[in-house]
Amino acid sequence: MCGLAGFIDNNRSRSSESLEALSHKMCSTLINRGPDDFGSWVDEKSGIAMSHRRLAIQDTTLAGHQPMVSKSGRYIIIYNGEVYNYKTLREELKKAGYVFRSQSDTEVLLAAIEIWGLSAALDKFVGMFAFALWDIKNKKLFLARDRVGIKPLYWSLQNNIFYFGSQSKSF
């Protein structure tokens, strides 16, 4: 189990430091979900901040640190869950020429999204998961979770700020 939290401040009134501080505060409420690592990512121009609390299971090295940036630099992901067929997807992506940096299923998700597109990749994921994906190129946030909703993903719109996280207590 991991914890994710973030927001988009549509007012665009915060500095990078302020965005990161609020994101860190939100994610600190989720320490019980991921005591092994913490990371955050901020884009001041877009008003977005994303943070992650990690429970390291698949790849316990720093190579599995989140938020994780895709190889092209286009996508940023924070992810909670397990994609059961990630090893099969990993082999399929390797055959397509993708070279992996880690053993994490998070990197498999990112590679699949980058190579196949979000919709096609989601169709291939089998497991329990929730994630937030920021598309830097198109300035769009995507929130997704498994078909059954096993992994929680909450969101709220307050004062023109869109919040999201693994637990509502983070907002």
Q: Which residues are catalytic?
A: 2
Q: Name the token pair of 163.
A: 């919040």
Integer Cα distance of 115 and 28 in angstroms: 33
Return all residues near 46 (Cβ < 8 A) that are at least 6 apart. Answer: 8, 12, 134, 139
Residues 31, 28, 50, 11, CA torsion sign: positive
C-alpha distances (whole Å) from 31 to each of 52, 82, 99 are: 9, 19, 32
* Dihedral in degrees, nearest 10, Cα atoms 101, 107, 108, 111: -90
Integer Cα distance of 22 and 130 in angstroms: 21
Q: Name the token pair of 92.
A: 């399929």
Residues comprising the chain, all counted: 171
